[in-house]
Chain A
Amino acid sequence: MPQVFHPSANTLSRVVLFGLAAGPAALLGTMMLLVRSPFQTQVGVVREQPVQFSHEHHVKGLGIDCRFCHSSVETSASAGMPPTHTCMTCHSQIWSGSPMLEPVRASFKEQKPLAWTRVHDVPDFVYFHHGVHVQKGVGCAECHGRIDNMPLAWREKPLTMEWCLECHRNPEPRLRPKDEVFVMDWTPPEGSGLEAAREANPKSHVEVGQLTNCSICHR
């Protein structure tokens, strides 16, 4: 009786078996990588903006405090996008003829807000409150990165749930004294380890165990 299968069927069957196992795994893996890649998280992607606003110039160059423009960041859910009035506080005289700032002047004249492109956008099913993070000692730079080094703003962190939870499970290494929250280049004092933050935890009533409750963010 002749052989039903050619010897190459051995290889073929191995390849097929391997493919059956590895194929779905590879597919899943690719997708997992994809959702964590900048393609999905927009990390490092610079957005087109109506005015080429440079945080680097205003924060590092001029030393203007974050709160000069983002004035509700200590008390509200939203950090506060400055109204054109805030830009014009200085730009009524500084660079008042610059073509780059023409949209700002037009917005001021027409009382029509500038349409900035949101760089940090958490999904609508996530409740995020800037005020509580600032009050508990989370520095701006923990989430926004060194915004003072960004000519045009980009997203530094992925803003995925996994990333939020990293800190909500273990907030201590990312807490700082409250008067250092707005300092861009703050580093924990030498030799202090996490002591300052461990001390700050009970003082700010941070209940670490509760930070992973679903309803802390999804409400």
Chain B
Amino acid sequence: MNPNTPQARARNAAARRPGRLAAAVAAALLAAAPGCTDMYDQPRYEPYEASPLFSNGASARTLVAGTVPRDDARRLPAVEDRDLLLTGLKDGQLSKTSPLAVDAELLARGRQRYNIFCTPCHGQLGDGRGVIVQRGFSPPPNYTDPRLVEAPLGHFFKVMTEGHGAMYSFAARVAPQDRWAIAAYIRALQLSQGARPADLPAEDQQKLEGAGK
């Protein structure tokens, strides 16, 4: 039906052109595929993603009061007295002892956590002269305050858990075992501020003398 005339060939070529155009567009799209982003945002919520579904605009929901965890997301250590670990109370009184074994490792952890969460206000020495206090925040007491030296260990745990005065609760940021580690480190800070050179091991005494020269 297609006579092989120049006119007919031109007509055929014209008819093929859209096909070629489509092929070229497809090739270009394929080349642009790395720039395609439809799969980047899939119909599910990422952590902290906003949601119009709830009145406060957040997709993540807070736990219903009284929820008991099936798994322990905070990886609580196995201790004899779990209530003490979580409340700081022993027989209804603030505990004088830690539910965890206080060793160098715990103190190191306590020091690390203290330097992250407490130094902004309490300062590295625990004197309550942290940078935020220098900017005008109400100054917390010095840990060497006799009231705090005599306070049971559970007092520090309770303050970190519930907050105290101007201090907000740190329970959401610091796991219970870390609060005990910090409490132990606060005791170390209290000791350090009243320490006499004679209390130090011989090695450290030498270092101290070397530093003084």
Contacts and interface: CB of A to CB of B under 8 A. Distances in A.
Interface of A: 24, 27-28, 31-32, 34-35, 40, 62-65, 67-68, 71, 77-78, 81, 83, 85-86, 88-90, 92-94, 110-113, 115, 118, 121, 123-125
Nearest to B170: A89
A112 B116 CA distance: 27
Interface string B52-78: 000011100000000000000000000
B34 to A, nearest CB: 5
A27 B30 CA distance: 11
Given A123-B41, A124-B46, 20 more contacts: A28-B31, A31-B34, A65-B115, A65-B117, A71-B172, A71-B174, A90-B120, A90-B121, A90-B137, A92-B166, A93-B136, A111-B56, A113-B57, A115-B50, A115-B57, A121-B40, A123-B40, A124-B41, A124-B42, A124-B44
B136 A94 contact: yes
The A interface, classified by DSSP as helix, strand, loop or mixed, is loop
Nearest to B62: A111
Interface string B112-154: 0001110011000000000110011110000000000000000
B132 A123 contact: no
Pick the 10 closest A-B CB pairs, nearest first.
Answer: A124-B42, A123-B40, A78-B47, A65-B116, A71-B173, A112-B56, A35-B34, A89-B168, A35-B35, A113-B58
Given A68-B117, A124-B42, A31 B166 contact: no
Contacts of A85: 168-169, 172
Contacts of A34: 35
A62 B31 contact: no
Interface of B: 27-28, 31-32, 34-35, 37, 39-42, 44, 46-48, 50, 56-58, 115-117, 120-121, 131-132, 135-138, 166-169, 172-174
25 contacts: A24-B27, A31-B35, A34-B35, A35-B35, A64-B120, A68-B116, A68-B120, A71-B172, A71-B173, A78-B47, A78-B48, A81-B48, A85-B172, A86-B173, A92-B166, A92-B168, A94-B135, A94-B136, A111-B56, A113-B56, A118-B48, A121-B46, A123-B40, A124-B40, A125-B39
A64 B119 CA distance: 8
Contacts of A89: 167-168
Nearest to B115: A65
Which of B27, B46, B173 has the most CB atoms of chain A within a 10 A radius of its CB? B173
Nearest to A123: B40
Contacts of A112: 56-57
A40 B40 CA distance: 12
B40 A88 contact: no
B34 A62 contact: no
A123 B50 CA distance: 16
Nearest to B58: A113
Given A28-B31, A63-B131, A93 B166 contact: yes
